[in-house]
Structure 1
């Protein structure tokens, strides 16, 4: 019997599909989706407090006794050609709906604890696999729509953190970044850190922090802590409501990678701190400072957001200005490039004895790249940037 119930969300251009399947079918679907990330390890952690363990143990016992759980919510970013065929009213299974879509795009938006309980109950009692449960699938073509849907309609979880919500769509977000930012030379993951040996190479969790910093336009972003500032939360949601926001972040990331590659051409033999061109963007303080400077120029200061048309115009102007600078840098020999980036001045500024070194470095780079952006990248050297703080 066909049990597919379709609704179209016009606000985020997503399809909501509610259906039922057996616990065995659900577990197989999720395990297949996450086999490249160690089954469910890529999702939000299972709660480990004493209270949570007791509740989950009760849930496991209830599942064995035939309890019907609340619907689990699954998100999927699918290809345009698959999305354009929806809804498929005659489909008898989710596999028919997803077609040849990459299952690694599936994410558990709501139901991680229930999933853990189902897995435990299935291990204890194999007959649990035949029990049925309700599933709601949210199908979208962009990760922006999926993130917006989670942050606006699924923020009742406590504690609420932007990072925690982004972690749910971590894999499809990074896949979309790699497709849309060709200047990224390498994107390392927590399981494959690697070593940065050139410009345009970054860690995936650092990219997520840049994503948050770009939206909030703040250098003091701790992706591991809760975002308690209600205004920051609203800024993030407001930006995601703009269909161009995601593309603007990718453009900003591309600007960072291109400038990083140009600076990285300076490669002297000594390898102490901040002696090579790639050392500038080798740390998160400079990357955050650059991204925030671009975001502020394009999006506007927090609380004073610019119109979509203004954002597009400003971003285009910044790209043209930076391209002119990069053309100039690429025409310099190594000695002239060293004279332009003035790492000796940067080292002197950063070597000052201060408390809270990490916060000081972020402030230095934030002011530095603010100057670079305000001067439309038209500088004879970076010395005015390094001395701005």
Structure 2
């Protein structure tokens, strides 16, 4: 393979090792693999017609802007000796054999290159592709880079940045929470057990947690932008703290899901609610409530105490401590002529949990649902 190291540098802000390289464009797909979009979960391919001019330019031998690749954070340590010692030959050998390279920036260009290969286009023998490879193992630095730095450098939505972040951290999250399974909907999997969630819904849950809102696609774009700008102005420590808080609540959420799944899968309690906590509306509503109500130390303690009480009740398995039958009755009573049912469902879930948090879990959930209903 024609991969060649051009130079080494560091991002002095995060002390991240960065390697610059080039490769013949005809060899690029061999480096990243035919399934190069495996880490770009839920990122839709853009309309190829928008890139018709670029496609023609590539066929004529144009030099593309550099594509940014990164090593899976959990595997960065396997490369550091070669990177620090600048042993290019050894590093190239490892990179060529590595299944842990993913595309951080350049997915659409990669799709075009693959289209041209599939069409049998023979590239110019001297046509190279520039590559920038990031070796970053610390989660807090990755959060900072993907959410903050990218926002100032690229026209990338915050939702997209959060998606990229979780793409790189999926394995670490699953290791942090034993028995958690994050699956990709495009793989055709279905939820067949507790603590199994689709990737996209976990991403949306974190986004709702950060923005303190269950609405991903808001009609009020000004409010949405103000909320996102507030997050993007956060420093590295704040972003890292937010991420760790989210993981902590995700652990509790998984514990609750495990026991609620059991309650609604057996005996007289067997109902259609066993997958309720995996529903997108539930994830958005719950994490929006947590994000909104755990804004200071005192409120965080209330939230944690409330959730611990709820989990203990669920573990007993005697009855449904969340009274989802009451929730369902209230949900079916939403007037579709007056309200958007989806929006109202998410609001009901968020406000129901908020009511539960306010009283530190001492008010039963049937009352919380009723208090939250319009």
* Residues 60 and 120 in structure 1, CA contact (< 8 A), matched pair in contact too: no
Distance in 1 between the 2:146 and 2:40 partners? 20
Name 1:285's counterpart in structure 2.
281
Deviations 1:234-267 (A, max 9, x none): 2343457332332222112111111122223323
Name 2:370's counterpart in structure 1.
387
* Residues 334 and 344 in structure 2, CA contact (< 8 A), matched pair in contact too: no
* Residues 148 and 237 in structure 1, CA contact (< 8 A), matched pair in contact too: no
- How far did 1:97 drift? 6.0
Name 2:350's counterpart in structure 1.
366
* Residues 42 and 200 in structure 2, CA contact (< 8 A), matched pair in contact too: no
- How far did 1:319 drift? 3.9
1:262 and 2:259 aligned? yes
Distance 1:329 1:2, change over 3 A: closer
SS in 2 for 1:291: helix
Distance 1:139 1:260, change over 3 A: same
Distance in 2 between the 1:222 and 1:181 partners? 29
Name 1:189's counterpart in structure 2.
184
SS in 1 for 2:68: strand
Distance 1:13 1:176, change over 3 A: farther
Instruction: Tell me the C-alpha RMSD between the 2 structures.
Output: 3.6
Which structure has the highest helix share of the two?
2
Distance 1:330 1:263, change over 3 A: same
* Residues 281 and 287 in structure 1, CA contact (< 8 A), matched pair in contact too: yes
* Residues 5 and 19 in structure 2, CA contact (< 8 A), matched pair in contact too: no
Distance in 2 between the 1:324 and 1:205 partners? 29
Deviations 1:70-101 (A, max 9, x none): 22211223335336534231223653565986
**Higher alpha-carbon deviation: 83-92 or 341-350:** 83-92
Distance 1:350 1:119, change over 3 A: closer
- How far did 1:124 drift? 4.0
Deviations 1:125-167 (A, max 9, x none): 4453653232111221145533532343334555x32333444
* Residues 356 and 368 in structure 2, CA contact (< 8 A), matched pair in contact too: yes
SS in 1 for 2:8: strand
Distance 1:316 1:139, change over 3 A: farther
Name 2:17's counterpart in structure 1.
15
Name 1:303's counterpart in structure 2.
none
Distance in 2 between the 1:61 and 1:344 partners? 61
Q: Unaligned 5+ residue runs, structure 1? A: 301-305
* Length-normalised TM-score, structure 2: 0.80
Name 1:30's counterpart in structure 2.
32
Distance in 1 between the 2:260 and 2:308 partners? 13
Q: Unaligned 5+ residue runs, structure 2? A: none
* Residues 15 and 140 in structure 1, CA contact (< 8 A), matched pair in contact too: yes
SS in 2 for 1:87: helix
1:76 and 2:75 aligned? no
* Residues 71 and 135 in structure 2, CA contact (< 8 A), matched pair in contact too: yes
Name 1:351's counterpart in structure 2.
332
Note the 1:1-389 alignment, pairs <5 A.
3-31=5-33, 34=36, 37=38, 42=41, 44-48=43-47, 50-53=49-52, 55-63=53-61, 67-78=62-73, 79=75, 81-82=77-78, 84-85=80-81, 86-92=83-89, 94-96=91-93, 98=95, 102-103=99-100, 106-122=101-117, 124-128=120-124, 131-142=127-138, 145-155=141-151, 157-158=154-155, 160-168=156-164, 171-182=167-178, 184=180, 186-222=181-217, 229-238=224-233, 241=236, 242-267=239-264, 275=271, 277-298=273-294, 300=295, 310=297, 318-319=303-304, 321-333=306-318, 337-338=319-320, 340-355=321-336, 356-379=340-363, 381-389=364-372
Distance 1:42 1:348, change over 3 A: closer
Deviations 1:302-337 (A, max 9, x none): xxxx6xxx5xx865774455334423432353xxx2
SS in 2 for 1:191: helix
